[in-house]
Amino acid sequence: MHDLWVNYPAVPEQEAAVAGALRALLERGDPLPAEYGPPEGAGAARQAIGALLGLAPGQAVALTCGGQSALGVAFAAALAAAGPGRRRIAMEAHSFPMARHFLALEGVPTLGLPMDAEGMDPAALEQALGGPEPPGVLYLMPVVHNPLGLTYSAARLEALAAIAARHGLWVVEDEAYAFLADPARRPPSLASLLPERVFGMWSLSKMVSLSLRLGAVSTPAGRLADAAEQIRIRGLTANPVIAAATALLAGDGTAARLMAAKRAEGAARRALARARAAEVSLAPATPFRLAGDEAPFFRLSLGGEAERDRLAAGLRRLAPLLRG
């Protein structure tokens, strides 16, 4: 079976890099932590990882045991900020299934809004905000959207940020796959456009290695304590040893090198897909869809197979099936 369903951007050297960081920690001879420490993570680890993420000025960062946890904390903190009267989330018509499942389990109503090639339609958001039950939170994946792969234009993000500011919307910005975009060409983050209203999230597992199971959530300046309380009560604190090892990888440039290697691998895989299966895309669209008619899409994940040759073989098998 060739896996074209899941996406775990990986390069062969990543696990050795994590093992090296763990070894360096042990060799340094520091005692292992004798207490849980702050729920948001130790200050030194947060600082090193925050620098790797390129936190927007005015934002604070907390660490969690995975990106999914970071997303849940961002949702919970943003909903708390919005207040009970606006406990409703506007999101893209096609969105990350685990976000939908989290919000369904929490009993939070969601509203899927239409998109075009530049991202969510600002007019549709304005209309929803003018309705009888305006959402209090907006959830977006502006850079390397899952599952559509699109990246918002800077103009679209500025328009959406202006609407959020005008209507007192809190924003959850999902950066899970943003590291796969060229940092010099990606649009500014929503957090940099609207630092006082955005909760960001990242998956260090995807950026570095799944073995870390580490995530990060950023908050507006005065909201870190709210996120920390969500982390404490839900038991989502990042493992401090893993956080310290990741901080070493962030500080010595290894994490940035792994991310660059993953970007290069992603570019090579996209070229391969264009060559081998120009008109295909796979994995049912239904779990990603929030609104509108059933879309004639599949999701084809290029990051699931660990080896590029196996991806090529999978695409070779797929192409004739789709042709005919």
Ligand X SMILES: Cc1ncc(COP(=O)(O)O)c(C=O)c1O
Site for ligand X in 64-93 (CB under 6 A): 66-68, 71
266 belongs to the binding site for ligand X (CB under 6 A)? no
Cβ of residue 147: shortest distance to ligand X, in angstroms?
A: 9
Residue number with CB closer to ligand X (203 or 230):
203
Pairing of strands 89-92, 110-113: parallel
Cβ of residue 270: shortest distance to ligand X, in angstroms?
A: 17
Q: Which of 40, 174, 265, 305 binds ligand X (CB under 6 A)?
A: 174
Tokens of 10: 């990986």
205 belongs to the binding site for ligand X (CB under 6 A)? yes
Residue number with CB closer to ligand X (205 or 218):
205
C-alpha–C-alpha distance, residues 40 and 22, integer Å: 21
Tell me if 111 sits within 8 A of 139, measured CB to CB: no
Torsion 120-122-123-127 (CA) sign = positive
Residue 315's SS3 state is helix
Cβ of residue 216: shortest distance to ligand X, in angstroms?
A: 10
Residue number with CB closer to ligand X (112 or 215):
215
Give the residue carrying structure tokens 């998956």: 203
Cβ of residue 38: shortest distance to ligand X, in angstroms?
A: 21
Q: Which of 59, 189, 203, 230 binds ligand X (CB under 6 A)?
A: 203
Q: Tell me the number of residues near ligand X by CB under 6 A.
A: 13
Q: Which of 141, 122, 250 is nearest to 200 (CA)?
A: 141
Residue number with CB closer to ligand X (8 or 22):
8
Tell me if 322 sits within 8 A of 297, measured CB to CB: no
C-alpha–C-alpha distance, residues 37 and 63, integer Å: 12
C-alpha–C-alpha distance, residues 10 and 306, integer Å: 7
Among the candidate windows 180-188, 203-211, 237-245, 282-290, which touches ligand X by CB under 6 A? 203-211
What CA dihedral angle connects 259, 301, 74 and 66, to 10 degrees?
Answer: -60
Cβ of residue 72: shortest distance to ligand X, in angstroms?
A: 10
State the binding string over 132-161 for ligand X (x if CB under 6 A, else -): ---------x----x---------------
Amino acid at 310: R
Give the residues lining the site for ligand X (CB under 6 A): 66-68, 71, 96, 141, 146, 174, 176, 203, 205-206, 215
